[in-house]
Amino acid sequence: MNEEKMMDILTEGGITVFAFRAISISNSSGIELVAAEVRQHLDSTRPEKVIVDFDGVKFFSSLLLGLLVEIWKKMKAYDGTMVISGINPSLNRVFRITNLDKIFQFHPDRQTAVRALTE
């Protein structure tokens, strides 16, 4: 099984970045692998600040929305901060339709998100 990695976990200036690499995130088994990796990272490191970076992503399934809400809840439980960066306009529409734009903070790119979280 030779699946390309869908996400990288990076640290930039003390901020954890979950950076998606795939253009389309719709494979349920792939999303479950990403979710397990994210859960393990959050539980073991308890980062204060997280950016979920969607730069280059053109499509994702609703399963990913559930993961984003889960990350947000975990971060909120220990007073951490989570923001989203790099969402293209068509994906931004999904957040508005589902009213998730009310709970998430969005930044146009990772660099802007890093600056916002370090100021």
Domains of the chain by range and CATH? 7-118 (3.30.750.24)
Contacts with 33 (C-beta within 8 Å, 6 or more apart), sequence order: 6
Identify the burial level of 37 via C-beta atoms within 10 angstroms of its C-beta, where 0-12 means exposed, 13-18 middle and 19 or more buried: middle
Prediction pTM value = 0.92
Strands (E), 32-98: 49-53, 59-60, 81-85
* pLDDT tens track for 60-94: 999 999 999 999 999 999 999 999 999 998 899 99
pLDDT value at position 27? 87
Q: Is residue 5 scored above 90 in pLDDT?
A: no
Average pLDDT rounded to a whole number, residues 85-104: 94
* Tokens 């589902």 found at: 98
- pLDDT band per the 50, 70, 90 thresholds, residue 13: confident
Q: Is residue 1 scored above 50 in pLDDT?
A: no
Q: Is residue 2 scored above 60 in pLDDT?
A: no
